[in-house]
Amino acid sequence: MPVAVSEAVYGLVFGVLAHQAGLTWTETLLMSALVNAGGSQFTAIAMWGGPASTLSIMATTFTVNLRHILMGMSLRRWVGRLRWQTSLLLALFVTDESWALTRQEFARGRTDPAFLVGSGIMQFPSWLGASVAGNLAASGVPDPAAYGLDFAFTGVLVSLLVGMWQGRSSLWPWAAACAVALLAALKLPGNWYVVLGGLAGILAGALLND
């Protein structure tokens, strides 16, 4: 529930930015409902209405969402026994926040995949409602950054990251991911730092476990 409340804050920010990009409240609602991935939605809105083509927007947001492949792989040990139809339903609720909460739950030995659905269901209406509210109230909040609302997304992810700390064994994978992501952000165009940072963390973790 606290994560759902926090998600509403940056859902408002997304709604404001969507309105500024020219989207109506119904278009904003549809994007949040069908995509349900804050990072790629913010990326798409930043490119919306500019010189970027539809194809380049799709390619960029696809790159940002490649991290979902990594998140899905990390959950396979527990959800792999489910029918593929059920797995498709679960996939809709795999967001950064629900994934992190589910990983924490599984690390405590409680491995019911229904937790993923439950956390996703808690967050989904919060994200949708806040997106629409932000779009409708955009005229009253012309600059979300002036109120610090743009930091809400980062703040939630940092708090979730702290909850996933498992001692010194977490240090090197996190450090590798951070270093590679920062280097890629400085040297490469687009959002490849998201994918490359994730892969670096996975590789570091795999080497340590060996």
pLDDT per position as a tens digit, 104-113:
888 788 878 8
pLDDT-based confidence at 203, cuts 50/70/90? confident
More confident residue, 160 or 32: 32
Q: Does the pLDDT at position 22 exceed 80?
A: yes
Top-ranked range on mean pLDDT: pick from 21-25, 91-95, 100-104: 21-25
**Residue 164 has what pLDDT?**
65
58-79 average pLDDT score: 80
How far is the C-alpha of 1 from the C-alpha of 101, rounded, in Å? 11
How far is the C-alpha of 123 from the C-alpha of 25, rounded, in Å? 19
Dihedral (CA of 86, 88, 92, 94) sign: positive
How far is the C-alpha of 88 from the C-alpha of 170, rounded, in Å? 30
pTM of full prediction above 0.75: no
Would you kindly state where each structural domain of the chain is located, as residue ranges?
2-164, 168-210
**Residue 142 has what pLDDT?**
66
What does each C-alpha distance from 22 to 11, 139, 153, 172 come to in angstroms? 17, 12, 22, 43
152-158 average pLDDT score: 67
What does each C-alpha distance from 55 to 18, 46, 116, 123 come to in angstroms? 19, 15, 32, 30
Residue 181: CB partners within 8 Å, gap ≥ 6? 193, 194, 196, 197, 200
**Residue 129 has what pLDDT?**
93
